Amino acid sequence: MLYISLINYNTNFNKKIIYCNFLKIKINIFILKIKKKNFKHFINIKQTIFFYFLLKIWNKIKFKNNLIFFTFIKNEIKSNLDGIFKLFLITIKKKNNILNLNKIFLKLKNLIWTNIGCFDIKDFLIIKFNKINLIIESIDKIPYITKYFIPNNIRISNSNRVRLGSFISEGVTVMSEGYINFNTYIGKNCMIEGRVSAGVYISDNTDIGGSCSIMGTLSGGGNNIISIGNNCLLGANSGVGISLGNNCIIESGLYITSGTKINLILKKNKIIIKAKILSFINNLIFYRNSINGKIECCKNYFNSIKINKDLHKN
């Protein structure tokens, strides 16, 4: 699948593109015969004018620093711009957990993100800034989401803790200590006060408690995408490395990984199993027995989680 965008870009002192705005995006336009062997990111001015008419945005033309950019979502990332574009596609919900993000950290460029723009680190060191209102917001390969996109009907207490490449549904609240990494999905009306790592999928009406951690697919994480179901509650300082079904609760301070031994309570009997066997099962409560210290799991008979609707309301 091919995605095409009209971009307006800025360059560094070496005339290399370091930042751009995506003005218009179209899907599956194979007007040109593009051979993979001769694949290039940019096309010439005649083809650019043709695409201007094709995309019906002639009134938006600014010939200075404008290009047509395209990418195949199944191909590995080729450049810094290609990586940013794919992360942007996730953020606007074109694709999620489908795009090929292989080699993303090898291809993305470490940049200085400020309140007045984006700069190459080498350029920044030799520029003489006279503006007293210059603020360095981050030095990173992936900018935070509000540099490129403002999600609708959400609250983000600290915007630099939500990275580009995360999709956030309406009604979500991200508190100041909440963190959302790239290649993530957050469903409607969730409360995020903990860490949502890369590759994690969270369904609707779920509460991720303060300092809670969800294991991702980077830095020692597995290849399996962690999914959290609807109406779940992860208590403060808890953690999870398995997928949860709907209406599940993890007690505060309890961290569960796939190999954690769980005492599963079935009526009056207990059996010991690994936590990964309970992945995706609905209506479960995980807790630590305060007398013997063993981790136990039983059925959540209420089949729902009560949350503070006033806090979740935007």
> Which residues are the active-site residues?
193
- First-to-last C-alpha distance (Å) of the chain: 36
Categorise residue 219: left if φ over 0, alpha if ψ from -120 to 50, beta otherwise: left
Q: In which residue are the tokens 């062997």 written? A: 37
Q: What is the tally of helices (H) and strands (E) in the chain?
A: 5, 25
Q: How far is CA 301 from CA 116, 266, 283, 289, in A?
A: 53, 13, 7, 19
CA-to-CA distance for 34 and 180, rounded, in angstroms? Answer: 37
Which residues, in sequence order, are CB contacts of 206 under 8 Å at separation 6+?
187, 190, 191, 228, 229, 230, 231, 232, 233, 234
